[in-house]
Amino acid sequence: MPFFSLHQAQQCFFLYSPKPLSKFPRARTLFFLCSKMSSNSNSLQNYPTPLSPPLPSISKDIELARAMSASSKSSLFGLSRSDILYEDEWLIAVNKPQGIYCDTILASVPRFLSDSAPSDRLCEGNQASTLELHLANRLDRDTSGVMVITKSHKVASVLVKAFTNHKVQKTYVAFCIGSAPKSERITIKSGHGRSKFGAWRVYAAGDVGRKLPGGSIVRDMETTFEVLSINGQQNYKEQSECVKDEEHSIVVEEKAITDVDANKDEILVRAFPRSGRTHQIRLHCQYLGFPIRGDVKYEGVYEWKGRTYDAHELHAESLTFQHPITGFPLLIQAPLPLWASQALQLLTD
């Protein structure tokens, strides 16, 4: 039953008059307004319910400070040869640093190409200034790793289509703090969308396709996680040794149950996102009970073992796709950041 305030109930008083509504013009208007309010209330009740928690109150100020710091760093940033992972006449792949915006990377490419161009190319009229540069993929501000930039509209169209059709294989590495999963490989399928307050949230898989406040719809998202280590111990098999029967699948239909009193473990995971939704890996880590360290927006710890973390620890490790022009398979890998290489080093010591 729709809820009405006392003020709204007083306005609806005329609906109960024994006299015909035609003698009360204002009553006819109020009847229309009350019907509209009832209709709006019912439509609100029909919106899907987000299943992941809202943004923590602590995240607002921390995220603002991080954004200001990133803006300052981005204003001074310039690409160097060491940032380039791959380049040909159609593509350039960059290892994006943590805390730098994607648009800053894109804006710095023309200058880098001009500065690094051979003298004969410069004599031809500075090819860099005529390129049609596009971001083929985007990374969050604090996510590091592989970013691909295309050099023409045609190449951009082909590569964007490949991303859309899930023809690009992606791997990420994340350092998480939370309850260690019991399975060595987990595949989670859920819905994804913005709540009425604009935050990205996890929705039930059964809500995919349903309308959300603001007019958007719930879209599907799927991620497979491989647990690399728990508390510095390699308890699980290598990826090549894992068999399908050992993979645990989760289809999200209800809110996750998190034990706040459970011990917190240090968990290094590799993620294989099939879709490419905004904050997908971060949301799925939160839902599974092991949010990424430093990811205050999605309940990740801000302080851990006496240290404060200024960013979340998520790295876009690799992209594999068919070259949009040559058709040959192309694997682009980014070196691991210090936090990831140190965690992996513990497994070999």
pLDDT tens digits for range 108-121: 999 898 877 654 44
Domain limits, the chain:
56-112+129-236+245-342
**Quick one: pLDDT at residue 184?**
93
List the structure tokens of 170: 């992606």
**114 to each of 77, 132, 182, 234, 334, how far by Cα in Å?**
16, 14, 52, 46, 24
H helices within 223-348, ranges in order?
280-288, 338-348
% of the chain beyond a pLDDT of 90: 68
Which residue in 83, 88, 103, 140 is the catalytic one? 140
**Residue 136 confidence (pLDDT) above 70:** yes
List the structure tokens of 341: 């290489």
- Across the range 72-79, mean pLDDT stands at 93
Give 10's pLDDT tier (boundaries 50, 70, 90). Answer: very low
User: Is 140 assigned a catalytic role?
Assistant: yes
If one compares 44 and 79, the residue with the highest pLDDT of the two is 79
- What is the pTM for the complete model shown? 0.82
Mean pLDDT of the chain: 84
**Quick one: pLDDT at residue 254?**
94
Q: What are residue 267's phi and psi, to 5 degrees?
A: -125, 125
- Across the range 300-314, mean pLDDT stands at 95
**Residue 281 confidence (pLDDT) above 50:** yes
**Quick one: pLDDT at residue 118?**
59
DSSP state of 311: S
Fold of the CATH domain 56-112+129-236+245-342: Pseudouridine synthase (3.30.2350)
**Quick one: pLDDT at residue 11?**
44
Say whether 116 sits in a helix, a strand or coil. Answer: helix
> Which residues are CB-contacts of 66 (< 8 A; sequence separation ≥ 6)?
99, 141, 142, 310, 311
**Residue 314 confidence (pLDDT) above 60:** yes
**108 to each of 83, 114, 134, how far by Cα in Å?**
12, 10, 12
Count other Cβ atoms within 10 Å, centred on residue 204. Answer: 19
- Across the range 213-222, mean pLDDT stands at 93
pLDDT digits (tens, 9 = 90+) for 236-273: 444 444 444 467 999 999 998 777 677 899 999 999 99
**Residue 142 confidence (pLDDT) above 60:** yes
Considering only 18-27, 59-68, 170-179, which range has the smallest mean pLDDT?
Answer: 18-27
**Quick one: pLDDT at residue 256?**
83
Considering only 114-128, 132-146, 191-205, which range has the smallest mean pLDDT?
Answer: 114-128
CB 229 within 8 A of CB 268: yes
Considering only 36-40, 169-173, 278-282, which range has the smallest mean pLDDT?
Answer: 36-40
**Quick one: pLDDT at residue 59?**
93
